[in-house]
Amino acid sequence: MSKKGTYQIPDYFDFVVPPLEGLWWQDGITGIDYAHKEKFNFIAMIRLPDFVTQDVFDWAIQKASERKQLDLHNVEFLSMQEGLYVQALHIGSYDDEPATIEKIHKFIEEQGLQVDINDDRYHHEIYLSDPRRTKVENLKTVLRIPVKNNYLNFKNKLATGLK
């Protein structure tokens, strides 16, 4: 059952809302160009518990639209499979993220990996702190960069005859 109401949600349980997450990209650019933040596009996301199915989601959108008179036509129910990535905790201003990204890129190179930001895989951020309640220097953000393993790619090519 839903927390407030009579709508029956199978396997419902009380839960803490997870942190806000964002996928970031810039059209026409492979990777990220921090010198042109005005060109960023994003998708904002919040992870949902497993009991939230497409039907439960559709019901919640309908109820929220009716009760709050909100335009929720852009809200979508998505499933994500991220694959291999490298992540690091950034502490401080969002404007200082490039320094942490530089460390991630150095690690990626040292490990023989390759950045894999493309039309299907994005720069991913998880916002652990609420910027309305946290001093800028204490903001905590997980920075996640998709990667591919060059060795595995080569091994797969060998297995398929180097096509």
Beta bridge partners of 90: 141
* Residue 163, pLDDT score: 45
Strand 20-26 to 123-127 pairing: antiparallel
* Residue 160, pLDDT score: 53
CATH code where residue 136 lies: 3.20.80.10
Distance CA 141, CA 42 (A): 16
Query: C-alpha distances in angstroms, 97 versus 42, 101, 104, 110, 111?
Result: 16, 6, 11, 20, 21
The backbone torsions φ and ψ at residue 130, rounded to the nearest 5 degrees and listed phi first, read -90, 110
Contact 46, 60 (CB under 8 A): no
Whether 6 is covered by a domain: the verdict is no
Q: Which of 28-32, 95-99, 103-107 has the lowest mean pLDDT?
A: 28-32
Whether 2 is covered by a domain: the verdict is no
Q: Is the pLDDT reported for residue 112 higher than 70? A: yes
Give the count of domains, the chain: 1
Mean pLDDT of 33-60: 93
Whether 13 is covered by a domain: the verdict is no
Whether 86 is covered by a domain: the verdict is yes
Whether 58 is covered by a domain: the verdict is yes
Whether 116 is covered by a domain: the verdict is yes
* Residue 34, pLDDT score: 85
Q: Is the pLDDT reported for residue 58 higher than 70? A: yes
Whether 63 is covered by a domain: the verdict is yes
What residues make up the domain containing 148?
20-159
Residues 63-85 have pLDDT tens digits of: 999 888 888 999 999 999 989 99
Whether 137 is covered by a domain: the verdict is yes
> What is the reported pTM?
0.85
* Residue 2, pLDDT score: 66
